[in-house]
Chain A
Amino acid sequence: MFNREKEEPTAVTADDRLSLVLSYQRSDIDEKKLKQFRARLIELCDDFGYDVVGHVEVIPQSKERTTIINASIPVRLKEPL
């Protein structure tokens, strides 16, 4: 009775899922659009002298009926030629 392990709360997970679900719904974002978005970000990095060295993540998040697009782009400066 005393050592009963508490299960992981599920409402936190639900809250995160809900945030993502609402962001997609509100901004009408589909996978195709996100793919194009990632491709453009890679081009943009290239224009500004960065090499993209890992997976580009684009994650829409919802806050107060506003969608915030978070992009995570691992880069390093291009080697000088």
Chain B
Amino acid sequence: MNRMSVAITVTSGKGGVGKSTTVASLGLGLAQLGYKVCLVDTDIGLRKLDLMLGLENRIVYDLVDVIEGVSKLRQSLVRHKEYPDLALLPAAQTRYKEEVTPSQVKAVVDELRNEFDYILIDSPAGIEGGFRNAIAAADRAILVVNPEIPSVRDSDRVIGLLESANVKMIDLIVNRVQPGMVRDGDMLSVERVQSHLAINLLGVVPEDKRIIRSSNTGEPVILDSKSLAGKAFSNISRRLTGEDVPFLELDSTTLITRIKRLFHIA
């Protein structure tokens, strides 16, 4: 196992595309593979990762406390109940993004490198201060994109900002893909999105109702064995570690759907 620590910022520009869902599932996926993983929520004032992981009742200290010296880094980490190799450094909920600087966040992440193989940094939406905090320590970035024009345009802008911040290794996850809509010509295909953005495709995640269920229960969708999105996240985790994993076949064509399609009812 490679014990070189890697800090990866998960970002998007546009809000609501599934960044925190991605971070929670990839974090668990990497922990399941035996890596030590720390998730850093930099969305100060609007934290979400604690809820996604079902850890909201166990938070004592947060990122701002560490930066201000109120608490030590180690005592601020919240360990996952089932996967103790997965830790969360939560964002403060009652403070503002402007209260911390990129160099302060970088110093915290650099300290985390001593203990963790992977540090996944959940970026807030937007390209202002919070985004700059989130990318300050990044070795690489993952861009989460929905196959729709506003999301792709924002992501294209973010790629430019990442490149000028010297983050050259940028991977793409196309999230909330609806194969039926793509087939009917009503949703941009993954190939078109990738072609426009021209970055490496790390994964494709289908739209899945089980994701809503998972954020309600605090159990990331990767733990749901019936979920196709969970399987997609599991594959992405393995690809992140360098494993060559084929992409899921999302558009399964059963006999019934073929017959329905013949009569234009599917």
Contact = CB atoms under 8 A, between A and B. Distances in A.
Interface of A: 1-2, 4, 6, 9-12, 14-15, 17-19, 21-22, 25-26, 62, 64-65
Interface stretch (B58-66, B97-105, B191-199, B238-246): B191-199
B152 A18 contact: yes
8 contacts: A6-B264, A11-B186, A14-B149, A18-B149, A21-B153, A22-B152, A25-B153, A64-B198
Contacts of A65: 197-198
A2 B148 CA distance: 31
Contact of A12 (B156, B157, B185): B185
Given A11-B189, A21-B153, 12 more contacts: A2-B263, A2-B264, A6-B264, A9-B184, A10-B185, A11-B186, A12-B185, A18-B188, A18-B192, A64-B195, A64-B198, A65-B197
Nearest to B155: A22
A61 B184 CA distance: 25
Nearest to B189: A11
B212 interface: no
Contacts of B263: 1-2
Nearest to A19: B196
A22 B186 contact: no
Which of B152, B182, B186, B196 is packed against the most chain A CB atoms within 10 Å?
A: B196
Interface string B44-71: 0000000000000000000000000000
A58 to B, nearest CB: 21
B265 interface: yes
B195 A22 contact: no
Which of A10, A11, A62, A64 is packed against the most chain B CB atoms within 10 Å?
A: A11
A49 to B, nearest CB: 39
Contacts of B149: 14, 17-18, 21
B264 A4 contact: yes
A1 B264 contact: yes
Given A1-B263, A6-B264, A18 B196 contact: yes
Given A1-B263, A22-B196, A11 B182 contact: yes
A63 to B, nearest CB: 8
B198 A14 contact: no
A26 B153 CA distance: 10
B108 interface: no
B262 to A, nearest CB: 10
A11 B153 contact: no
B157 A10 contact: no
B188 A62 contact: no
A10 B153 contact: no
B223 interface: no
A10 B189 CA distance: 12
Nearest to B152: A18
B187 interface: yes
Nearest to B192: A15
Which of A2, A9, A64, A65 is packed against the most chain B CB atoms within 10 Å?
A: A65
Contacts of B264: 1-2, 4, 6
A25 B160 CA distance: 10
A15 B196 CA distance: 9
Nearest to A12: B185
A11 B188 contact: yes
